[in-house]
Amino acid sequence: MHQADGCAAKQHVELRCYQQECLERIEESASRGVRRQVAVWPTGSGKTVLFSELLRRKFSQRPGIRALVLAHRDELLEQARRKLLTVWPDCGPLLGTVRAEQDDSGARLVVASVQTLSRGPRLERYLEHGLPAVVVTDECHHAPAPSYMRIYDRLSVLPDQDIGDRLHLGVTATPDRADGVGLKCVFDEVVHVLTVGYLIELGFLVPVRGLLVRVDVDLDGVPLKPGGGDFADSGLAKVMGTAEVVEAIARAWVEKGEGRQTIAFTPSVSMAHMLAEALRAHGVAAEALSSASGSLERRRVLERFEKGDIRVLCNCQLLTEGFDVPEVSCILMARPTKSRALYQQCVGRGLRPAPWAGKADCLVLDVVGNSLKHKLVTVATLSGKEPAEEEEAGRGSGAPPAPDGKAEAEGSIALYRGPEKVVGLITGFGWVKLSDDVLALHAASCNAVILVRRSGGKWQAVLKDFEREGSAGWELLAEGPDRGYVFGIAEALAAKLGDPTLLRSDAAWRELPPTEAQVFYVTNEASRRGLKVRLPATRGEAADIITCWKLQNLLSPPTEKQRELLEALGAWDPMLTKKEAQVRIARLLAQKKTG
């Protein structure tokens, strides 16, 4: 074992395979000069254990360093302290806290509140003791906020500053922000990504079951937040917070919630209290919490919930981060949303395993209203399977769509929206599924970035240049069993080659009506393919269908007849596409005729 300040660096937590892999990836990336790194892991994957072990190793290698862990909520600070002491029991003498009146600025390992440390005098007092060699930002999707940026600027860890051999690691489950601001202003590279589906497969998260609960509200009139992202909470609360709607939601939980320990998310504090009251009227032990709740009341209610004395805990934007009760096996989403980040944060509260409580899965009750123009995020967005209405959907992610893009029962095109698309959270890019094992981004007019799942669980990211024939037109970008890493490499290149506003799945243009040209193409191509396809409702849906079909045409393999002819001509290349083979044959026959 390494030694740090004479303390035995005992490790009481056995790392999971992907945690060890990520630590290796962090070191490998740092050796390449990537010093501002992000790890994107779902809730329940062990992000706090990851950075705690990273800090233990850094102090073991360089005993004299300082390190700083930044978080924006008390619950996250306490969680970080507990995990550090669990992973590295002997770090106690090094560990200090900077929060409110508590000021351990001189400690070598500081867990700090962003709100407190960003204040000028407190930050300067911390810096009097030297710069940290390692900075960890928990829930780093908040990193572009002004309070964080003030700290980063004084720590000299921003991309335009000389960070030297120091390291800044950000961890988050949801790197997209409601204001559309990316993380490039703080970080250099996403070095490791895990998906919900992958962790469910490994047994580290429980499967998800979804059930749609429709309520009679019109969401089309609800205003959006500035920037056109998610619904504005105030507007959503007006249509959702009526006595009739709240009673319908409470009744749905009584009928479908199976008595499970539940967290309910609402768009307003008043609706949280209304829902709790409606549930109590049905004999359910329910309480509501909000940011207005005093710290003592909050602690008392949370303790009762953890003990199981409270069956349903209703809240508004309070329990999306840093609150973990593994026994929670039902999420009541009483707040329709267009935000994948918010949805994943909420659902993540119910994904932790709790075998001691007999927990086998997580039931998500998705409350949705009527909308013709808004695309809501539901369980299907995360799992790739539409939740049932009035009956539960089956477990898991469901049967895969038709591999060749042919119509399903209703003639709808098979577009990729499965768990692996979680990598798109980094960039928001929307991958199109060409077959069970092939996903693609048409990054530019002459390029496509393609992801291929090979046998043995290996993933490959390749670039196809349509202006170059055969083997010359293919470039291997990355490969390996870590699909998150491979996806990240692919998306990074796609962002350089193409226009991110065209690739993002949440771009405003996608919600516009389809153009006449799009409808004409879809109608004619569907007829040519012999498909019954529902006409696309939006410009984005039409673009996805057209991209899928065009790439299928461009990437289709040569026919057996083409292969035989090219072999006879001595010009066969197994990497040719059907279209390229056709062009090559025509060119060679023309040369032969003129020669």
Question: 451 - beta bridge partners?
Answer: 439, 461
34 three-class SS? coil
Same fold, 3-194 and 205-389: yes
* 312 neighbors 279 (Cβ within 8 angstroms): yes
Residue 558 has pLDDT above 80, yes or no: yes
Count CB-CB contacts under 10 A for residue 557.
13
- The mean pLDDT value for 2-31 works out to 71
- The mean pLDDT value for 336-354 works out to 85
170-185 tens-digit pLDDT = 998 877 655 555 788 8
Specify the CATH class of 205-389 in words.
alpha beta
Per mean pLDDT, which of 98-102, 224-228, 278-282, 469-473 is the most reliable? Answer: 278-282
Count CB-CB contacts under 10 A for residue 358.
8
Band (pLDDT 50/70/90 cuts) for residue 2 is: very low
pLDDT at position 117 is 93
- The mean pLDDT value for 568-585 works out to 92
pLDDT at position 232 is 86
Name the nearest CA neighbour of 362 among 370, 352, 372, 371: 352
- The mean pLDDT value for 497-504 works out to 74
- Candidate from 130-139, 250-259, 499-508, 556-565 with smallest mean pLDDT: 499-508
Question: 363 - beta bridge partners?
Answer: 209, 330
Percent of the chain with pLDDT over 90: 38
574 three-class SS? coil
pLDDT at position 457 is 65
Band (pLDDT 50/70/90 cuts) for residue 199 is: confident
pLDDT at position 369 is 55
- Lookup result for tokens 């207005």: 292
* 369 neighbors 218 (Cβ within 8 angstroms): yes
pLDDT at position 120 is 84
Residue 504 has pLDDT above 80, yes or no: no
Residue 533 has pLDDT above 50, yes or no: yes
- Largest Cα separation within the chain, whole Å, is 91
* 390 neighbors 237 (Cβ within 8 angstroms): no
223-238 tens-digit pLDDT = 888 765 788 888 889 9
- The mean pLDDT value for 416-431 works out to 41
Band (pLDDT 50/70/90 cuts) for residue 482 is: low
Name the nearest CA neighbour of 263 among 322, 208, 173, 325: 325
pLDDT at position 384 is 41
Domain assignments of the chain as residue spans, ordered by start: 3-194, 205-389, 419-555, 560-594
* 211 neighbors 366 (Cβ within 8 angstroms): yes
Percent of the chain with pLDDT over 70: 83
How many residues are listed for the chain in this entry?
Answer: 595
Sheet holding 474-480, edge to edge: 432-435, 438-444, 447-453, 459-465, 474-480
pLDDT at position 374 is 45
- Candidate from 159-173, 260-274, 289-303, 558-572 with smallest mean pLDDT: 289-303
Q: What are phi and psi of 109, to 5 degrees?
A: -125, 105
Torsion (CA) 51, 52, 55, 59 in degrees, nearest 10: -170
Task: Indicate the pTM of the whole model.
Answer: 0.61
* 446 neighbors 459 (Cβ within 8 angstroms): no
CA 140 vs CA 21, 100, 172, 426, 527: distances in Å = 20, 21, 5, 12, 48
Task: Report how far residue 405's alpha carbon sits from residue 195's, in angstroms, rounded to the nearest whole number.
Answer: 24
- Candidate from 112-126, 316-330, 461-475, 579-593 with smallest mean pLDDT: 316-330
Residue 382 has pLDDT above 80, yes or no: no
Residue 314 has pLDDT above 60, yes or no: yes
**DSSP states of 491-532:** HHHHHHHS-HHHHBTT-GGGGSPPPHHHHHHHHHHHHHHT--
- The mean pLDDT value for 206-218 works out to 83
- Candidate from 57-71, 85-99, 369-383, 417-431 with smallest mean pLDDT: 417-431
User: Which residues in 52-121 belong to E strands, given as ranges?
Assistant: 67-71, 95-99, 102-103, 109-113
* 415 neighbors 433 (Cβ within 8 angstroms): yes
CATH classification code of 3-194: 3.40.50.300
* 66 neighbors 133 (Cβ within 8 angstroms): yes
Burial of 120 (0-12, 13-18, 19+ CB in 10 A): exposed
